[in-house]
Structure 1
Amino acid sequence: MTGAVTVQSVLNQFLVTESLDSHRRKVCSRLIDCRTARMGGMEMQCDQCKVRTVHYYGCRDRHCPQCQGRASQQWCERQRRSLLPVPYFHLVFTLPHTLNGWVQVHPDVVYRRLFESVWNTLRQFGFRTKHLQGELGMTAVLHTWGQNLSRHVHVHCLIPGGVLTEAGEWHRAKHQYLFPVRALSRRFRGRMVSSLRSSARAGELHRLTEPEAINSVLNDLMAKDWVVYARHCLNQAETVVDYLARYSHRVAISNGRLLAQEGEQIVFRYKDYRDGDRQKAQQLDGVEFVRRFLMHILPKGFMRIRHFGYLSNRTRRQKLSVIHQALQRPVESDVETLIHSGTSCAWPCTRCDDGMVYRVRQIPRCRTLGSLVTA
């Protein structure tokens, strides 16, 4: 095959639209149109060498591997204003694979209950742990995939190492692991199973039509250990931002992991965590690759990055100010960040290295080439 293999090229060749719902069809349409003439763009010219180039716009879809790099950078710049001068902890809560079938038919319900159960678990530990007894803050990111594109639902949580008490005091975490992992696992298991039972009774899981089967699955899950993983704390603010950027806007698979296309087979790189994190290559039929990729398209409007506790959007500014006062650290001004956050209308020329490239013409979107939305 000529040219580098990308998610866009694979979708172009192997996507079957007849079986897609309208939401997935629209997402795939945006990914296929991304940075092509169908999206429109602008023609640029250097003021020194006079070379003209055409740049097409990105689709900005959150599932697009071509667009998430810039989105992640912009998001992390905003998050810098919420960083605290304290160690941070990274926890991962994983949903058992037994529930993958439920995720297939009711993703919005299961994902929502997952976020609720994770925060309820950590919130209770924050208030009930003797040396803390206050409100935690948490940034949580939902991932639904494993390295081989299989369904592997888990939530990454980045948590500042301390709590804000009702009296406005800051109590720092004393342990390197924040909370005991085994205790977290048991509490998380109980909350998640209880939440799913409530959803079943409320009719939210209406596609699961056998009550006895639902109870059997949940009872079996209560008898198993659930996976909660805690990583070392991070001490530097810059490290925290870079660390968070790895997870905030990651998509199911990046173009950099695609190695080759051999006929109708797609070869991609993955990390085998069960074999010492060794890098390996896997080969999938193109149609199967697309099927696995589509499994990880989130429900329309579902927010996969959420903030809780004193980092929640509603009270973040006020509570962070209180925490900085308790830590006796001045709040950093974000005026400079706002000044430099504007979009530039000129860029250095990469051909001659002397001139500046300016936009000379706007290219409208080309709607005559067709779209998957109307397929």
Structure 2
Amino acid sequence: MANSVTVQSALNQFLSTDSLDSHRRKVCSRLMDCRTARMGGMEMRCDHCKARTVHYYGCRDRHCPQCQGRASQQWCERQRRSLLPVPYFHLVFTLPHALNGWIQVHPEVVYRRLFESVWNTLSQFGHKTKHLQGELGMTAVLHTWGQNLSRHVHVHCLIPGGALTETGEWHQAKHQYLFPVRALSRRFRGRMVSSLRSSIRTGELHRLIDPGALNDVLNEVMQKDWVVYARHCLNQAETVVDYLARYTHRIAISNGRLVSQDGDWIKLRYKDYREDGRQKTLQLEGAEFIRRFLMHILPKGFMRIRHFGYLSNRTRRQKLTAIHQALQKPPEAGDVTENGAESHRTWPCPQCDGGVVHMVRQIPRYKTVGILTA
């Protein structure tokens, strides 16, 4: 008989740690402990109806489907300060699946080269396009999955529609898709292949040991068209961050897409973009579901959200001020303040109309010695 399923319950039932490295083992341990007694929490009491409830802490891991909603909201509040009153463009750069084997053994190298190649491509177009001739800004987000949890590595880029020149002028973008997609694709392909050849020469891809096979793969992908996708620009600046938030903290699979579990089989919902986004269901064995999920755990410390150009962290404040001056539109005054509700540990009572719940005690983290935490 089918029953409900979550990523957490699937990990608890089907995960085998025999072949896991220490990083994936720790990530899975956090996801399995999330919002349970093992994480600790707070005991709350309503000042009106005196009802007592217990709230367990989340793990805050970036791969956790239970914790990313709040992380996304907090990220949005910070990014609103960097918005410009200009149209925005959304571009997606995708790696060919022929490189998936390389990603399997050297993800940190290929992902880093991917970010570098995407920015090099767009930066070159920004400086050489006649009506721009300046520095672009870009926020880029790495995704490694397709809707069916297969490996599908791509980068989502959100780019303000204009360039900042060396003299401090602002040149507005004129075209609906910012740059020609075919030209971007060819430049991106050449840059990425050249970058991977450099990694081979320097020994960064040392686990790939057959030089002839590596060269054959790169020659093969150079003969194919690479996928670069561009969407219409966004004209409402206030919706830009909310739009990007759909991508920044998205994970490989959310609990909302898991339909049911029947024995050792898990059924999930996905969109088939080859059929115009038609909704379909896919049934996977529990072990296969876990295998696909583990493919998308990022290398330890790897930053999947990055800012480039005049949006880079080092020069963002100075260059955004220059852009606002060039546009003669001063930035919005005041910073977003953090919500103080959690610091006071009070919330509206979910069980009565007029009460407020207060924290009465901290519940310490419950430490266990087991397969994942030893």
- How far, CA to CA, are the matches of 1:351 and 1:5 in structure 2? 27
- Over 3 Å counting, the alpha-carbon distance change for 1:184 and 1:230 in structure 2 is same
Match of residue 44 from structure 1: 44
2:179 paired with 1:179: yes
Q: Residues 70 and 123 (structure 1 numbering): CA distance in 2 closer, same or farther, change over 3 Å?
A: same
Q: Relative to structure 1, is the Cα distance of residues 364 and 241 closer, same or farther in structure 2, using a 3 angstrom cutoff?
A: same
Answer yes or no: is the 8 Å Cα contact 1:137–1:311 preserved in 2. yes
SS at match of 1:266: strand
CA deviations 1:193-251 (Å, max 9, x no partner) are 00000000000000110111111111111111000000010011222111111000000
- Provide Cα deviations, 1:248-306, integer angstroms capped at 9, x if missing partner: 00000000000000110000000000112110000000000000000000000000000
Letter in 2 for 1:224: K
CA contact (8 A) 1:144 1:154 kept: yes
Partner in structure 2 of residue 346 of structure 1? 346
Structure 1 residue 368: Cα displacement: 3.2
> Per-residue CA shift, 1:22-54, capped at 9, x if unaligned?
000000000000000000000011110110100
Alignment-derived partner of residue 280 in structure 1: 280
Distance 1:279 1:77, change over 3 A: same
- Counterpart contact for 2:2–2:261, Cα < 8 Å: no
Would the alpha carbon gap of residues 72 and 339 (structure 1) be closer, same or farther in structure 2, given more than 3 Å must change?
closer
Post-superposition offset of 1:330: 1.2
Q: In 1, Cα distance between the equivalents of 2:312 and 2:188?
A: 21
Q: Contact (CA 8 Å) 2:2, 2:262: kept in 1 or not?
A: no
Q: Where does 1:1-375 land on structure 2 (aligned, <5 Å)?
A: 4-335=4-335, 337-338=336-337, 340=339, 343-344=342-343, 345-368=345-368, 370=370, 372-374=372-374
Q: Give percent identity, aligned residues only.
A: 80
Native 8 Å contact 1:85 1:237 kept in 2: yes
Q: Quick one: distance in 2 between partners of 1:368 and 1:290?
A: 23
What do residues 33-88 of structure 1 show as CA deviations (whole Å, max 9, x unaligned)? 00000000000111101101000000000000000000000001100000101000
> Deviation at 1:334?
3.0
Q: Judging changes above 3 Å, is the alpha-carbon distance between structure 1 residues 38 and 82 closer, same or farther for their aligned structure 2 residues? A: same
1:104-130 residue CA offsets vs partner (Å, 9 max, x unmatched): 000000000000000000000000000
Structure 1: gaps spanning 5 or more residues: none
SS in 2 for 1:368: coil
Q: 1:136 to 1:41 in 2, by over 3 A?
A: same
CA-CA distance at 1:371 after TM superposition: 5.5
Q: Is the CA contact 1:38–1:369 (under 8 Å) kept in the aligned structure 2?
A: no
Distance in 1 separating the partners of 2:93 and 2:276: 21
For residues 24 and 339 of structure 1, the distance between their equivalents in structure 2, rounded to whole angstroms, comes to 32
Aligned equivalents of 2:142, 2:334: Cα separation in 1: 28
CA distance in 1, matches of 2:123, 2:340: 34
| Contact 2:134–2:163 under 8 Å retained in 1 | yes
Contact 2:190 2:222 in 1 (8 A): yes
TM-score between both structures, scaled by the size of structure 1 = 0.97
Q: Secondary structure at the match of 1:373?
A: coil
CA 1:339–1:99 in 2, change beyond 3 Å: closer, same or farther? closer
Secondary structure of 2:259's counterpart equals strand
Shift of 1:350: 1.4
Please give the alpha-carbon distance, in whole angstroms, between the structure 2 residues aligned to 1:191 and 1:37.
49
Give how far 1:2 is off: 8.0
1:340–1:41 Cα change, 3 Å = closer
- Where does structure 2 lack aligned partners over 5 or more consecutive residues? none
- 8 Å CA contact 1:136, 1:159 repeated in 2: yes
For 2:327 and 2:353, locate their aligned partners in 1 and report how far apart those are by CA, in whole Å.
47
- 3-state secondary structure, aligned to 1:35: coil
Q: 1 CA distance for matches of 2:71 and 2:339?
A: 16
The structure 1 segments of at least 4 consecutive aligned residues displaced by more than 3 Å after TM superposition are 339-344, 368-371
After alignment, is 345-354 or 90-99 more displaced?
Answer: 345-354
Offset from partner CA, 1:149-180 (integer Å, 9 cap, x none): 00000000000000000010100100000000
Cα gap change, 1:3 to 1:40, in 2 (>3 Å): farther
Deviation at 1:145, TM superposition (A): 0.2
